[in-house]
Amino acid sequence: MRAPYQVLVIPFRLRIAEPEFAVLKRSDAAYWQFVAGGGEKGETILEAAQREVREEIGITGRFVQLDSHATVPRDCFVEAHRWRSDVYVIPEYSFAVDAGDAEIILSNEHTAVQWVSYPHARALLRWDSNRTALWEVHERLKSGKLYPESAS
């Protein structure tokens, strides 16, 4: 059963000129977003993020939890009727994953993937929460402080 929270994961890879971000085109709605999905009962948010990335794009990598958070109305989810009646919005937790040179293998949830620059990704994305988390990843990469142990 889907737990009442959402994860958002931004796959990125470092290139000489600038980082690139993998944006995915949904098969059911034809808009662009990052990896997203719900947690399952008993999973931590990191485990949910790792599972969603494996299921949707077939990769593993180094994950970092971001400070960016959002909420999503319960009526966006088919399984919401199974949640407590006092759950009106669910939290969305954001992560970044370094995809390195891994080959992305799309699940049936997506029809296309594009590795694009930060400005191009911002222009493609539908959801504000995706753009906010992308901004955070981009700023952390520019400052060299993506990972907590690299913070000063």
Residue 17 pLDDT exceeds 70: yes
pLDDT bin (cut points 50, 70, 90) of residue 9 is: very high
Q: At which residue do the structure tokens 């040179």 appear?
A: 101
H/E stretch holding 38 reads strand 35-40
- Return the CA Rg of the chain: 15
CATH number, domain 2-150, options 3.30.200.20, 3.40.50.970, 3.20.20.80, 3.90.79.10: 3.90.79.10
Helix (H, G, I), strand (E, B) or coil at 63: strand
How confident is the model at residue 119, as a pLDDT? 97
* Spatial distance between the Cα atoms of 127 and 94, rounded to a whole number of angstroms: 13
pLDDT tens-digit readout, 75-123: 877 777 887 888 888 899 999 999 999 999 999 999 999 999 999 999 9
pTM here?
Answer: 0.91
